[in-house]
Structure 1
Amino acid sequence: MVQINIENVTKKFEKKNKVTMALQHINLDIDSGEFFGILGSSGSGKTTLMRIIAGLEIPTEGTVSFDQKPVSKDNKIITEVEDRNIGMVFQNWALYPHLTNFENIAFPLRIMRLKESAVNRRVKEIAELLDISEVLNKHPKEASGGQQQRVAYARALVKNPALLLLDEPFSNLDATIKDVARKYTKELQNILGFTAIIVSHDPADIFSLSRQVGVINKSLIMQTGKPIDVFTDPVSIEVARSTGEYNTILVNVKENGLRYNLSVGNMLNMDIDISKVKKSDTIEYPAGEVLLGFRPSDVIVIPSDMAGSSDLPRGFKECGEAEVAISSYYQGSFRVTLSFKDSSESFFCFHNTPLQPGEKVNIYLNPDLIHLFNAKTNKIIF
């Protein structure tokens, strides 16, 4: 296990007199034995950050420390990658096709010049732990995708690393076996106790594995914390969308006594209690046009001719009417896009039965589950 500290790390790439800022002033503290997730879209900087931690890239500015000892600092490598006691699993697994799975796993041990008896013992131990003993004498192409990934894990773990780095490790797996792969990844960390960092664009990877997460967007760390806290209380629309599907609607806000009134033309109208707005000098109070944000799972729609006949979960309140634009089958339910008659705004949700285009529905939201964002900056208001 190893503690990782990243202090004010910036990374610039220069090509043909053009400077690209890959990372800007990154600060992260990752505890020893932690399973930390770095979540971000393609091009956000997440893989560059992982490569800097590994020693495959050099920070232009800033310091990376392992157990309080700098390993990289201000455009200089202090500890080379081979001396950082790191195991790495890449998106494409990077197995040598001409070697057997046994030889792939044994490769880092042979680099360490271990005795052959020690190599055989350690490879068999890790293969048994990962349930791939039966494919050791086969080549990678003769194993299934899930088995190939476990071979890659075995190669990364065979030398007992203090830190395991996972770069989009499940991207090449079929959806049906991704959950199995996530399960044994978690079990491996619990059994072996290494510090782990996973880099992914998929929130499912982060929520199933990580105890802490950092969301990165456009080279900046936007938010850190427990995955559930980042999911339920995002600091910006970008963070909200990084952690799952998210609706935003431009609404007009007016203060009305002890409440705020949110409206979209004549079709959506809801009140929220002013006491729910966080009282802080740094918190903006909503006024004029702002963005209303909510998860598709946090809105309920009921056909208008059935409104009043259905029991609603506690806290949900009727707030207007919308019209079905399109309804399509989606993973066991129906994804429904809805629009407002007198506005260009739209949103989507999920429904257990198909709804017909043009059908009118009543909208129900829970004020405790919504957020308001500044329409210009996309940052949280509350």
Structure 2
Amino acid sequence: MMAWTPGMRDRAIEGLSVLARREKWRTSDYGDRIISRVQAALTDENPVVRMHAAEAFTGLHADATSEARVAGLRELLITEPDVMVSTVLLNLLGREAHASPGAVDATLEALAGLRSGADQSSEPQELTDEAEKRSAVDRVEDERNNRKVDIVTFLALTHETPYALSTLNQWASEPAKHNELSHAIPFIRDYLAPGAEPRLQQRTFEFVTTASTSALEYWTATGGAMVDTSELTPLELSELENVLRVLDATADQIYFASGAFESKRGNFSEDDVQQGRATAADIARFAGLATPTLLICAASKAAPVIHHVVEALVYLAQVDEKRSLKALAEAVTAHSNYAYDSLASGVVVPYLTRLVAEQRDLVLFDAEGVDAFKTLLAAFAGAGNEDALELAFTFADVFR
């Protein structure tokens, strides 16, 4: 009889795992044998075998309740030393989060109490270079950690489960120490967007506002915009990078969530029209929540952050021209060199030209509007922008 090699066993279980995920095979004459073999493979000594078996876990327990599946996944995760296998199990756990939020939350809390780290036996066997092996393992480790972040963020904001909510609040209050935020904030873009369920949207804005406020406090206290990074320790540099990523990600996701990107490029599809895009009331609510948070991000004085703030504010001017104009003046002047950027002038100067044509009362007679308009126009004219200079000369009354 031919002896089974590790590679043959891997492929055999992979094939049985595929069959176990298909109902017609699970209910066939071979179903019991397929299920028993795959079930046994969940605790095999070979991590690749366990991984393939884990991929069929939901099929193996298709008739069980969601909470029963979570209990099974919890048992496997607690005893699983391999990063590759635990990543598969976490993906499956995440799929149960909506149906069984409390059970999934408790599972995450239990996992958090365990020793972190993983058995490095998951290093890909086909890689022989040690650096390549390490890189591959790091990528899988990152994927596993990101799955945890996704589940925690989802549970905290949509179900307010205790462990997830406490964890998210801790991340937001200490952004320098938690690089998880750089993944959590992009995850919640749809929760921010105009038309999102109001309570969920409110909670999500509270989260990003807390995170960006804490990040700005750290950034300002450490002189982030002016600090010589060569003088920082690796830990100090890492923490500074963490808070800048929070500010950048927050401005970035609010910009994309607003609809400004799609509007600028005309990317609304026929499906968008049929499903109903955000209403004026949705956008107005979004603007009210977003503007203060955008200004927090702009106060970092980091040019890339400011640019997405500016693009979002220009788009949201449709809701309240005066509020956006004042906010833009505050954002643009936060960085002394921002007006010299061609991308900046390409957004702001056309906006100022439109205001002169469509909002003359605001920019010629409203005291606050005039002041904000003068600030913006002076910034870009002073930077030598030809269109801004022409606008300044053409409407010299603004400078009286």
Normalization by structure 2: what TM-score?
0.27
User: Larger strand proportion, structure 1 or 2?
Assistant: 1
User: Rg: which structure is higher?
Assistant: 2
User: Larger helix proportion, structure 1 or 2?
Assistant: 2
Q: Which structure is higher in RCO with an 8 Å CA cutoff and minimum separation 6?
A: 1
Normalization by structure 1: what TM-score?
0.28
